[in-house]
């Protein structure tokens, strides 16, 4: 019990989102106590996992929500390695339910604030990063909580290999403007170039749950592909 509590209380850095959307059922608790520790990466062992896998194509999804997108990638690409970062426990449980049925064996999970975890990663350890439908934090006083900011873009530049890629998607008009402004800033500093920018999802990107919700409401989604210089 104590161990489980400690694992759930992984450092949250500046994560402000919710951690649960409802009380967990017994079988969900069991996934957290029995399956999650076999897949879990923390500040302490992140370096080991990344080093052990050096030479392998490594992808990090920040804010995987229910994990459907991450799971689809991991199943479709057994030769690649996936690190999912998501402090939302109810989302992690959804992903664990899929893994319990079929574990693709190339995925690890972390429940800490991604901004904090990025600072713990060695330089040049990632090939790709996905930030899909990040929380838009629409109120001005909450903009500092947005995952895309100058600090994160500098950290992403540091942890990506040259030529590495970032995928970003959003359906929120205010956050879209924010992303566009930050990408101009990143291009001016020669951190990244924007390779793709459109309201059509590239066919090689699996859908996400949040995207499906937005599309069903008739909202427009916007997609960006950046390349690290």
Ligand X SMILES: C[S@@+](CC[C@H](N)C(=O)[O-])C[C@H]1O[C@@H](n2cnc3c(N)ncnc32)[C@H](O)[C@@H]1O
Which uninterrupted H or E stretch holds 167? strand 160-170
Measured over the CA atoms of residue 120, residue 124, residue 127 and residue 129, the dihedral's sign is positive
Residue 26 known to be catalytic? no
Q: Does 71 bind ligand X (CB under 6 A)?
A: no
- Structure token digits, residue 155: 């950290």
In the bound complex, what is the minimum distance in angstroms from residue 208's beta carbon to ligand X?
Answer: 3
If we measure between CA atoms, which residue out of 110, 182, 112, 187 comes closest to residue 151? 182
* Sheet strand arrangement including 107-110: 107-110, 81-85, 58-62, 126-132, 160-170, 222-228, 192-198
Q: Which of 21, 26, 113, 135 is catalytic?
A: 135
- Contacts to ligand X from residues 166-205, by CB under 6 A: none
Q: Which of 15, 137, 192, 224 binds ligand X (CB under 6 A)?
A: 15
Q: Does 95 bind ligand X (CB under 6 A)?
A: no
Q: Which of 36, 121, 147, 221 binds ligand X (CB under 6 A)?
A: 147
The span of 73-81, 119-127, 129-137, 178-186 binding ligand X (CB under 6 A) equals 129-137
* Smaller CB separation from ligand X, 135 or 187: 135
Q: Which of 17, 104, 174, 206 binds ligand X (CB under 6 A)?
A: 17
Q: Does 64 bind ligand X (CB under 6 A)?
A: yes
Q: Which of 43, 47, 53, 135 binds ligand X (CB under 6 A)?
A: 135
* Smaller CB separation from ligand X, 120 or 187: 120
Task: Give the burial class of 218: count Cβ atoms within 10 A of its Cβ; 0-12 exposed, 13-18 middle, 19 or more buried.
Answer: exposed
Which uninterrupted H or E stretch holds 172? none
Provide DSSP, 73-91. HHHH-TTSEEEEE---HHH
Q: Does 155 bind ligand X (CB under 6 A)?
A: no
Per 3-state DSSP, the chain is made up of helix, strand and coil in percentages (nearest 5) of: 40, 20, 35
Token look-up 């920040």 returns 62
The span of 100-108, 118-126, 192-200, 206-214 binding ligand X (CB under 6 A) equals 206-214
Rounded Cα–Cα distance for residues 134 and 228 (Å): 20
Q: Which of 87, 121, 164, 175 binds ligand X (CB under 6 A)?
A: 87
The span of 27-35, 42-50, 208-216, 217-225 binding ligand X (CB under 6 A) equals 208-216
If we measure between CA atoms, which residue out of 172, 184, 165 comes closest to residue 225? 165
Q: Does 114 bind ligand X (CB under 6 A)?
A: yes
Give catalytic residue positions: 135
Binding residues for ligand X, rule: CB under 6 A, are 15, 17, 62-65, 85-88, 91, 113-115, 132-135, 147, 208-211
């Amino acid at each position: 019990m104590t161990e489980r509590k400690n694992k759930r209380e992984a450092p949250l850095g500046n994560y402000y989102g919710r951690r649960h959307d409802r009380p967990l059922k017994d079988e969900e608790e069991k996934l957290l106590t029995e399956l999650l520790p076999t897949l879990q990466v923390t500040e302490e062992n992140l370096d080991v996992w990344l080093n052990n896998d050096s030479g392998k194509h490594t992808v990090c999804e920040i804010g995987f929500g229910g994990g459907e997108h991450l799971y689809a990638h991991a199943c479709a690409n057994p030769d690649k390695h996936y690190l999912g970062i998501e402090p939302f426990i109810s989302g992690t449980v959804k992903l664990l339910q899929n893994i319990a049925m079929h574990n693709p064996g190339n995925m690890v999970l972390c429940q800490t604030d991604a901004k904090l975890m990025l600072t713990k990663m060695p330089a040049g350890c990632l090939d790709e990063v996905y930030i899909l439908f990040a929380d838009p934090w629409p109120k001005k006083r909450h903009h500092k909580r947005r995952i895309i900011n100058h600090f994160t873009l500098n950290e992403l530049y540091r942890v990506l290999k040259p030529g590495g890629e970032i995928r970003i998607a959003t359906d929120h008009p205010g956050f879209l403007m924010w992303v566009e402004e930050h990408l101009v800033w990143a291009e001016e500093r020669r951190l990244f170039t924007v390779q793709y920018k459109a309201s059509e999802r590239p066919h090689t990107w699996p859908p996400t749950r949040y995207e499906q919700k937005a599309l069903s409401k008739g909202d427009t989604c916007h997609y960006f592909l950046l390349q690290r210089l």
